Structure 1
Amino acid sequence: MKQPISRVQHGFTDYSYIPAVATAPETVGFTDEKTATTLCRVLAGNILLTSLFTRAEWGLVRAMPYKAHLMADVAVGAFAASAPWLFGFAENKRARNTFLVAGAFGLMAGLLSRPEEMSEVGATPAPSNE
């Protein structure tokens, strides 16, 4: 399957996901669900850190390989989708549905992004073995 999301586009998705998830308890209306609210902040912080440390045009430190970033996105997406049941807030429809959407978004971003590493010198993708 050809992944339609480029590395640069992936960066845009990350940096839009961060504020959306961080502010979801207020915008969606589940601040009374303390565990879900805390997890939103943790998820947003996790994506912020991995984005800042990813070896990509939008990374600040550029230490983490982009493929590792994509694997982290998939793992965080699966975690987010299962969090309502793991942490006991599945009965709260707003919180549960927010986490299902955030999880689906993370899974899609990780699985539908082309895994082309940035070259050491610039923004050119490294040759692919595919």
Structure 2
Amino acid sequence: MRCISTRIHAMLDYVVGILLIAAPWIFNFATGGPAQSIPVILGLVALVMSLFTNYEGGLVKMIPMPVHLTIDLLSGIFLAASPWLFGFAGMVFLPHLVVGILEIAVSLCTIKAPFVSRV
């Protein structure tokens, strides 16, 4: 069931992008390596993609919403699995897993087209 508007999704994209970039320092796993770099890179990708998405939060509006949602889904799966794929689950896994699962859920629950005003 798709119940999250693209407007709310846009706000979440910017918040989660910033959170992913800051997560290694907030949750004290900024020790270098993939545990730190994966969320930072995915956060930067989320912010740039948001700027280029055709929704209420986009500035350039080049990326269609279904493409954005597919990338979010794949990003969430990758983030959630990354502690085991890259072997750092013994050090840290919960932030990656939780944010990855939330990203998957939001991508599956967001309406596929932005609201268009018919004034």
TM-score by length of 1: 0.85
**Aligned AA for 1:124?**
V
Q: Which runs of 4+ in 1 moved over 4 A?
A: none
Equivalent position of 2:99 in the other structure: 102
**Aligned AA for 1:57?**
E
**C-alpha distance after superposition, 1:92-115 (max 9, x if no partner):** 1xx311100110121011001011
- Contact 1:81/1:104 (8 A) holds in 2: yes
Equivalent position of 2:15 in the other structure: 16
Quote the Cα distance in structure 2 between the aligned partners of 1:56 and 1:44: 18
TM-score by length of 2: 0.92
Unaligned runs of 5+ in 1: 126-130
Which of the pair has more CA radius of gyration?
A: 1
Quote the Cα distance in structure 1 between the aligned partners of 2:74 and 2:94: 18
Equivalent position of 1:28 in the other structure: 27
Q: 1:39-54, aligned counterparts within 5 Å? A: 39-54=38-53
Q: CA deviation at 1:33?
A: 4.8
Q: CA deviation at 1:73?
A: 0.4
Q: Indicate the SS of the match to 2:27.
A: helix
Q: CA deviation at 1:35?
A: 1.6
Q: CA deviation at 1:34?
A: 2.4
Percent identity between the aligned chains?
32
Quote the Cα distance in structure 1 between the aligned partners of 2:16 and 2:102: 8
**Number of residue-to-residue matches in the alignment:** 117
Q: CA deviation at 1:60?
A: 1.2
Unaligned runs of 5+ in 2: none
**Aligned AA for 2:87?**
G
**C-alpha distance after superposition, 1:21-79 (max 9, x if no partner):** 11111111111252211111111011112111101111111101011000110000000
**Aligned AA for 1:16?**
V
Equivalent position of 2:80 in the other structure: 81
Quote the Cα distance in structure 2 between the aligned partners of 1:77 and 1:40: 10
